[in-house]
């Protein structure tokens, strides 16, 4: 308002000056008149803005009508889902096995009931918001400024409509809890849902890159409005290794154990729910015509090019949108995605991220995790839990805290390992504290397991990804002073979960193997024949782990093994074309990930104006990207392919600068935004106590993955760093590697 008054005064002054000016100075008079006219134009624009004609309805009536429109959209979607279910397009499990490869994907990206409720609520909210923005002809950003009474009225009515309940606050008991809640709630006592399961992911770039008029939901397009190239076309041109279709280059330092840990960690902190059909049916898009697919908001299927080198008889690759949510339903906003599990490194892979799952896995009489046979998880009786295509005694689908435990053998062996670690800790703590009840034994062992996972991740794994320079710069190195930051949101960013952390896909070898004590290969199983099949782990888990700690991982580069490019889940259903690289790219567009250029700029590396501006890509990679993205500019490249192909900048790491930037930001949040972090030796709240005592922290700092492997898989020799390939003389007797000293947990060390 003050600016408006000032402009009025300036205009009046100018006209007065012009009226009294000497008419013999025409040039000055023209300049003054021009300036006065410009000010009048500004005044007119400002008047229009201030007196914008809003709908005749009250804000309350507008939001009520918008909510009705949203409910209509949800009803239409429900009817469409029902139609595709009864006509057989969408399928429920037949109770014996996966219906097809898309059903396997749907099982992995399981949609819990709470996530499905959020997805439905989001359908209503986004359609309502679109109606409001259309009717008022204002942008979302403008609405959120609340600089007009009508806008304020809309926001107040929105909150009453979409989030009428009071914002959840943490109770005194939750604030002073001795152990983490399973679902991660109230880790931050001022923000109960930061890092909690079944909540919205956060973003490194706060505003999603959606392509619809209001930027609410439609997958990203090129900046000029054109369609981006098919994700499969990009995959073929950029990530498919054509020199030797069976093998891509190997890493000269890191082992397969590092790759497996990366996937295990991924499943510790990220899990994306897919949209589901009627009654939880698996949504299928490709059987429908192109016109029918366009009517289904969940379908973001991938076009397969006519000259595809593998999928010669297919034109469509299945891809279904992730389930949606809003960051906070109290405030209108764009579509976000759900993280089904906690954002913390807390052992959720073993224990689950919801009470129901945790109870299913717990032996309440002992505090141990349940076993079907000694040292192995209980059986998951869900017919879709895994694939079993071999004959073997005691061979079944294992049930763990995370549903994806059977994805691939180098993941399953870690699930078995930490079940054994937990149960061993319970036995030892029971010997030390005969008066402890089973629940306390369970919680104390769970707390130690979480701390061990943090120690291995930050001390052994993360430095081999981002390098020591980034570790020091962002204070990620363990052992220094720790200060919990209650203002740091640990929630997982979309950029990490949907792009940067998936760099691990470039490191996976084409097969899994068993290796005996003489380091001879005993058995090899190609991944294309073993997806979702835990056979090798049940055949001989120690031999799988011995191979993992010996064999090289694939090199970190832009190439992904052919088993994942052309044969993903082919052992489940060879007729369904799936490609992991394509799915990664399409998922990024689905989630509204900003382009590589935008993230690069956000990290502070400058701007990318053209192909020559790709300063962290070699010339041959630039040319490959240019070939993969015809008809669009360098500003439009997807984050994932550009990120995995950056030149590694930190010696000792395996990330380029942009992915290292995303990693560092996230792992700083995970560490310093977790009040239960194992190094936090101070009270986070007045009535609580530190997670561990100083002596216990020092004991945990001595833990090495190699020692755990020795203890629980019966190996007798191993190199001290399980993630680095052993050189001549590097292997040592397991007895020479220090382990976790539980002395600080004795009665004497308790007070």
What are the binding residues for heme b? 505
**C-alpha span between 129 and 67 (Å, rounded):** 8
DSSP state at residue 650: S
Count Cα neighbours of 219 within 13 Å in the Cβ-side half-sphere.
23
H helix intervals, 580-656 = 580-590, 596-602, 619-628, 639-644
Residue 213, class by beta-carbon neighbours within 10 Å (0-12 exposed, 13-18 middle, 19+ buried)? exposed
End-to-end alpha carbon distance in the chain: 64
Distances from the Cα of 588 to the Cα of 95, 98, 300, 593, angstroms? 32, 26, 11, 5
DSSP state at residue 502: G
**C-alpha span between 417 and 377 (Å, rounded):** 10
Report the candidate in 324, 303, 331, 341 with the shortest Cα–Cα distance to residue 590. Answer: 324
**C-alpha span between 491 and 175 (Å, rounded):** 19
Report the candidate in 396, 382, 318 with the shortest Cα–Cα distance to residue 94. Answer: 382
Q: State whether residue 301 is helix, strand or coil.
A: coil
**C-alpha span between 196 and 274 (Å, rounded):** 18
Question: Which residues make Cβ contacts (< 8 Å) with residue 183, sequence separation at least 6?
Answer: 196, 197, 198, 342, 353, 354, 355
3-state helix, strand, coil in the chain (%, to 5): 45, 5, 45
Q: List beta partners, residue 240.
A: 560
**C-alpha span between 597 and 614 (Å, rounded):** 9
Which residues are part of a known binding site?
505
**C-alpha span between 338 and 198 (Å, rounded):** 6
Supply φ then ψ for residue 52, to 5 degrees: -55, 140
CB 532 within 8 A of CB 579: no
**C-alpha span between 515 and 240 (Å, rounded):** 29
CB 220 within 8 A of CB 592: yes
**C-alpha span between 598 and 549 (Å, rounded):** 38
DSSP state at residue 200: E
CB 314 within 8 A of CB 304: yes
Question: Which residues make Cβ contacts (< 8 Å) with residue 209, sequence separation at least 6?
Answer: 215, 220, 592, 593, 594, 595, 598
What distance separates the 2 farthest-apart alpha carbons in the chain? 108
């Amino acid at each position: 308002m003050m600016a408006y008054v000032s402009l009025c005064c300036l205009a009046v002054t100018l006209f007065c000056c012009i009226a009294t000016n000497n008419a013999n100075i025409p040039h000055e008079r023209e300049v003054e008149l021009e300036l006065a006219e410009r000010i009048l134009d500004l005044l007119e624009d400002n008047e229009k803005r201030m007196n914008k004609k809003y709908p005749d309805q009250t804000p309350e009536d507008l939001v009520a009508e918008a909510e009705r429109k949203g409910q209509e959209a949800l009803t239409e979607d429900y009817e469409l889902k029902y139609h595709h279910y009864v006509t057989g397009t969408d399928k429920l499990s037949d109770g014996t096995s996966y219906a097809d490869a898309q059903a396997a994907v749907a099982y992995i990206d399981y949609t819990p009931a709470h996530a499905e409720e959020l997805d439905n609520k989001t359908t209503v909210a986004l359609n309502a918001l679109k109606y409001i923005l259309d009717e008022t002809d204002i942008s979302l950003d403008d609405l959120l400024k609340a600089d007009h009474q009508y806008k304020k009225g809309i926001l107040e009515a929105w909150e009453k409509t979409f989030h009428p309940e009071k914002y959840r606050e943490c109770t005194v008991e939750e604030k002073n809890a001795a152990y983490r809640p399973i679902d991660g709630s109230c880790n931050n006592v001022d923000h109960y849902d930061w890092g909690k399961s079944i909540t919205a992911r956060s973003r490194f770039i706060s505003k999603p890159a959606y392509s619809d008029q209001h930027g609410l939901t439609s997958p990203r397009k090129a900046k000029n409005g054109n369609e981006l190239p098919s994700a499969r076309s990009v995959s073929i041109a950029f990530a498919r290794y054509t020199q030797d279709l069976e093998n891509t280059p190997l890493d000269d330092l890191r082992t397969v154990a590092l790759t497996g840990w990366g996937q295990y960690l991924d499943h510790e902190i990220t899990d994306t729910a897919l949209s589901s059909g009627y009654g939880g049916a698996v949504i299928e898009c490709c059987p429908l015509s192109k016109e029918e697919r366009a009517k289904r908001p969940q379908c973001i299927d991938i076009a397969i090019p006519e000259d595809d080198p593998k999928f010669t008889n297919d034109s469509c690759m299945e891809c279904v949108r992730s389930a949606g949510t809003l960051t906070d339903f109290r405030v209108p906003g764009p579509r976000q995605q759900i993280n089904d599990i906690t954002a913390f490194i807390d052992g959720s892979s073993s224990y689950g991220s919801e009470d129901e799952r945790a109870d299913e896995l717990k032996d309440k009489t002992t505090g141990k995790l349940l076993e079907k046979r000694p040292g192995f998880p209980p059986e998951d009786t869900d017919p879709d839990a895994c694939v079993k295509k071999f004959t073997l005694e005691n061979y079944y689908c294992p049930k763990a805290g995370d549903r994806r435990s059977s994805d691939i053998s180098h993941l399953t062996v870690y699930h078995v390992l930490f079940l054994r670690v937990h149960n061993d800790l319970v036995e030892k703590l029971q010997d030390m504290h005969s008066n402890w009840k089973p629940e306390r034994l369970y919680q104390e062992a769970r707390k130690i397991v979480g701390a061990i996972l943090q120690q291995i991740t930050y001390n052994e794994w993360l430095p081999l990804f981002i390098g020591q320079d980034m570790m020091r710069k962002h204070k990620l190195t363990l052992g220094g002073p720790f200060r919990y930051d209650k203002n740091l949101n640990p929630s997982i960013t979309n950029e990490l979960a949907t792009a940067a952390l998936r760099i691990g896909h470039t490191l996976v070898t084409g097969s899994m193997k068993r290796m005996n004590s003489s380091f001879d290969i005993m058995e090899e199983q190609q991944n294309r024949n073993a997806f979702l099949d835990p056979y090798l782990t049940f055949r001989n888990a120690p031999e799988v782990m011995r191979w993992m700690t010996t064999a090289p991982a694939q090199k970190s580069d832009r190439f992904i093994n052919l088993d994942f490019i052309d044969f993903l889940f082919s052992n489940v259903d060879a007729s369904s074309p799936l490609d992991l690289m394509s799915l990664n790219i399409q998922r990024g567009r689905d989630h509204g990930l900003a382009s590589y250029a935008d993230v690069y700029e956000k990290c502070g590396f400058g701007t990318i104006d053209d192909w020559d501006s790709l300063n962290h890509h070699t010339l041959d990679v630039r040319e490959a990207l240019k070939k993969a993205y015809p008809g669009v500019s360098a500003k439009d490249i997807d984050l994932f392919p550009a990120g995995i192909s950056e030149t590694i900048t930190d010696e000792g790491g395996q990330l380029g600068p942009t992915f290292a930037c995303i990693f560092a930001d996230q792992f700083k949040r995970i560490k310093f935004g977790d009040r239960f972090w194992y190094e936090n030796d101070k009270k986070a709240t007045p009535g609580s106590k530190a997670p561990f005592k100083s002596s216990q922290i020092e004991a945990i700092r001595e833990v090495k993955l190699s020692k755990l492997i020795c203890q629980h898989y019966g190996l007798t020799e191993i190199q001290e760093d399980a993630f680095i390939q052993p050189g001549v003389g590097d292997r040592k007797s397991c007895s020479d590697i220090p382990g976790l000293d539980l002395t600080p947990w004795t009665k004497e060390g308790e007070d």
